[in-house]
Amino acid sequence: KQEVTQIPAALSVPEGENLVLNCSFTDSAIYNLQWFRQDPGKGLTSLLLIQSSQREQTSGRLNASLDKSSGRSTLYIAASQPGDSATYLCAVSGSARQLTFGSGTQLTVLP
């Protein structure tokens, strides 16, 4: 059974810092990995999707990497802003097509 862990559970940084969020998964037989952002009480916004054959994806100030063999992914956020404050979730998809989520990292960027 696939299990996804996100560390840390919460993170508080001053504005302008670069930061890294971590995600690990137990079963390396994945099709892809997605990073999502969730604002309080809201739905999920897809940030980046990395196919199992890829090593990284970039979108603006976000860069996500994937090391399938070690079961790890990182989300790098450059020059953080208060508007980046949200919960960040990673999820993996395998042959069953369903997404298995971690519990998220709650990020607060202080002005």
Partner 1 sequence: ETGVTQSPTHLIKTRGQQVTLRCSSQSGHNTVSWYQQALGQGPQFIFQYYREEENGRGNFPPRFSGLQFPNYSSELNVNALELDDSALYLCASSLDTGRNNEQFFGPGTRLTVL
Residue type, 94: G
Binding residue for partner 1, selected from 12, 26, 103, 108, defined by CB under 8 A: 103
Helix/strand/coil for 26: coil
12 contacts partner 1 (rule: CB under 8 A): no
60-99 mask for partner 1 (x: CB under 8 A)?
-----------------------------x-x-x--xxxx
Of the candidates 20, 13, 3, the residue with the CA atom closest to the CA atom of residue 64: 20
Integer Cα distance of 14 and 39 in angstroms:
19
Binding residue for partner 1, selected from 32, 54, 63, 74, defined by CB under 8 A: 32
